[in-house]
A and B are shown apart, each in its own frame.
Chain A
Amino acid sequence: MGRLINANDKVNDHQANESCAFFNLSPLHSGLHFSAGRSPIPAKLDAARRIDTPAGSPMSIFEYNGSALIAMVGKNCFAIASDRRLGVQLQTIATDFQKIYKVHDKLFLGLSGLATDAQTLYQRLVFRHKLYQLREERDMKPETFANLVSSILYEKRFGPYFCQPVIAGLGDEDKPFICTMDSIGAKYLAKDFVVAGTASESLYGACESMFKPDMEPEELFETISQALLSSVDRDCLSGWGGHVYVVTSTEIRERILKGRMD
């Protein structure tokens, strides 16, 4: 099966060490969820973004909190959906964590990956968008916003935000626009759907089989919900329900899904 190659998979030891050395902690740090009695993974072997779990096998920094995101295009509308889990490795902390943010009425941003970086990135982007609104006296177009996100991520090329954004919006003449990018800002535009998160491989499969072009909002909602729930059911790090926004030129409908609560 073809794997989407992106920066997540690359191992760049020297820069990864600087930016995430603090994630490889010795077990003497009390009160933290790291395997007791095991030595940390030697730096030169696999330092890049690996954390010890209590179970022993290392996880990637992108999988620390767990997430699943989809955006899909319909007929003059789009839908963006996320799961609701906030975890710390294998422990679930909350089941109502928000991963999709509204930038303006016709632009939504979903952020998967490390939750702290998602929160920081969201704050920075909202700040930049508000300044843009003050200067230009209008909202940002989705294409412009995607470029902004991409530049902000690439600024941190050698010490990145561990996030994968999913951007969905209605552009000129309310034409739906979706895109995703990797953690250093490589944009991937799509005409049909984009996915991100720990369950991304399942999500690709589910979306590919369930998607059809030019769906009306109600059918789009059903499709995106089924794709999300069936994929997160196969991923232990994401789930605990879903959060779906279906946006047309006239309204935004926000719905909470109840799926397998595990």
Chain B
Amino acid sequence: MECVFGLVGDGFAIVAADTSAVHSILVHKSNEDKIMVLDSHKLVAASGEPGDRVQFTEYIQKNVALYQFRNGIPLTTPAAANFTRGELATALRKNPYFVNILMAGYDKEIGPSLYFIDYIATLHKVDKGAFGYGSYFSLSIMDRHYHSGMSLEEAIGLVDKCIMEIRSRLVVAPPNFVIKIVDKDGAREYAWRESLKDVSVTSA
């Protein structure tokens, strides 16, 4: 149900996530932001158990901020990814978090990077990654059209292709998606792709 995917381009990394908050057969809301801005140059797109997703990503965000306060410099993306994996691995055999994470970041010396972190704390640096049922479609589309060093227009085109594929082929396809980008200028929201706008109460 929850579709999260991302890729690395030329000097930037993009992640996209669906925005439905679902409980069994009920859609609570269709504008839930699942991509958290971890710090100025990092994004965390998370999917999985809703409570764990929010709690765990906030916990990581606050710890990353604490590191910066204590040490005066921000964590690099590989360091933040390894920290996240460590937290998931420690909790795994006690009280596991059912959260899958794609962490995208930009570092001055390293450039853009994307880390795939499974809910059982498998960490791997990737060029493109995806979670959820949507991954069956988005990974295939990305396998076909992705090449390293894509420009922003090409990458957004590819993200849109993936979203179209998920919308047309996944039986319980989420209607709306949010796309966020991180590059040398920082982490920010890039666009929404809405096919179903939330209706306000008065008009209903």
Complexed CA–CA distance, A24 and B49 (Å)? 15
The residue from A19, A29, A31, A116 contacting B120, defined by CB atoms under 8 A apart: A116
Total residues of chain B contacting the partner, CB 8 A: 32
Which of A6-14, A71-79, A88-96 lies on the face that meets chain B?
Answer: A88-96
CA A114 to CA B93, docked complex, whole Å: 14
Q: How many A-B residue pairs have CB under 8 A?
A: 65
Which single residue of chain A is at the shortest CB-CB distance from B49?
A29
- In the bound complex, residues from chain B placing their C-beta under 8 Å from that of A22 are 92, 96, 98
User: Counting CB contacts under 8 A, is A47 at the interface?
Assistant: no
Residue B111, interface by CB 8 Å: no
Q: How far is the CA of A29 from the CA of B53 in the complex (A)?
A: 12
Q: Is A4 an interface residue (CB 8 A)?
A: no
B136 touches A91 (CB 8 A): yes
Cα–Cα, bound, A119→B84 (Å)? 13
Query: Are the CB atoms of A91 and B2 closer together than 8 Å?
Result: no
Given A31-B1, A93-B116, A94-B126, residue A116 in contact with residue B131 (CB < 8 A): no
Could you tell me the distance in whole angstroms from the C-beta of A239 to the nearest C-beta in chain B?
16
**From residue A27, how far is it (CB to closest CB) to chain B in Å?**
10
- A32 sits at the interface (CB 8 A): yes
In chain B, what residue has the closest Cβ to A86?
Answer: B124
Contact of B22 among A25, A30, A93, A159 (CB under 8 A): A30
Expressed in whole angstroms, the minimum distance between the Cβ of B168 and any Cβ of chain A is 19
User: Which chain B residues have a beta carbon within 8 Å of chain A's beta carbons?
Assistant: 1-4, 22, 24, 47-49, 85, 89, 92-93, 96, 98, 100, 116, 118-124, 126, 129, 131-133, 135-136, 139
Whether A31 contacts B131 by the Cβ 8 Å rule is yes
CB of A1 within 8 Å of the partner chain: no
Report whether A120 and B119 are in contact in the complex, using a CB–CB cutoff of 8 Å.
no
Q: Are A28 and B47 in contact (CB under 8 A)?
A: no
* A120 & B89 in contact (Cβ 8 Å cutoff): yes
**CB within 8 Å for A31 and B132 given contacts A91-B139, A116-B92:** yes
Given A29-B48, A31-B48, A31-B100, answer yes or no on A120-B121 (Cβ-Cβ < 8 Å).
yes
Give complex CA distance A94, B92 in Å.
22
Known: A88-B118, A115-B122. A31 touches B133 (CB 8 A): yes
With both chains docked as a complex, state the minimum distance between the C-beta of B92 and any C-beta of chain A, in angstroms: 7
In the A-B complex, the 8 residue pairs with the smallest Cβ-Cβ separation, listed nearest first, are A31-B2, A30-B1, A31-B132, A31-B47, A115-B122, A116-B121, A116-B122, A116-B120
Residues of B within 8 A of A114 (CB): 120
29 A–B contacts from the bound complex (CB under 8 Å) = A22-B92, A22-B98, A28-B24, A29-B49, A29-B98, A30-B2, A30-B47, A30-B48, A31-B2, A31-B4, A31-B133, A86-B122, A88-B122, A91-B135, A91-B136, A91-B139, A93-B124, A93-B126, A93-B129, A114-B120, A115-B122, A115-B124, A116-B92, A116-B123, A119-B85, A119-B89, A119-B121, A119-B123, A120-B121
